[in-house]
Amino acid sequence: MDIIKTDLQGLLVIHPKVFADSRGYFFESYRKEFLYGFNFDFVQDNISRSKKNTVRGLHYQVGEFAQGKLCQVISGRILDVALDIRINSPTFGKHFSQELSEENHVIVWIPPGFAHGFSVLSDEAIFMYKCTAYYSKENERAILYNDPELNIDWKVEEPVVSEKDLDAKLFKEIKKDFEL
């Protein structure tokens, strides 16, 4: 695995070693020992299937339910987006985006303290992420995906967004839930 640090502290891009031949391919999508300094255990795996132009996010959880996420695409192609919401971080309010696809096999580690979302660039995508905390409806929060202050290019022209996500708060309205 090649592990690349990003400009956002703790956020990693992982390029697994893929072994391909005429039958298909094989790769390890997670191996704890490769994420040196990684102090989390995964407790929940989530899989979503979404149609083209779907935008999901920007979601996060607070308190003991704050989640780190190890994200990858099983099929299709998405734009994965992580927004630093750690109030004392030098990159507070900055975002990182990375295309994840069944062809590039890229995996992204998003630590707690980030809001997360993605948009679907292919006709359909199946997205999987391992979480370090259980889902908690009471501790779930969301930031409006198209907040002009954030200026995130989701790479879709006609976004399909849930009512819940359309009712999300602006970035300037969220409580400062995370400190480094």
Annotated active-site positions, please? 59, 129
Tokens of 105: 């096999």
Determine how β-strand 12-15 pairs with β-strand 2-5. antiparallel
CB 92 within 8 A of CB 84: yes
DSSP-based three-state secondary structure for 166: helix
46-65 burial code (b ≥16 CB/10 A, e <16): eeeebebbbbbbbbbbbeeb
CA distances from 117 to 30, 80, 167 (A): 21, 6, 15
CB 140 within 8 A of CB 116: no
CB 74 within 8 A of CB 102: yes
Q: What angle do CA 157, 160, 163 make, to 5 degrees?
A: 140
Whole-angstrom Cα distance, residue 121 to residue 154?
9
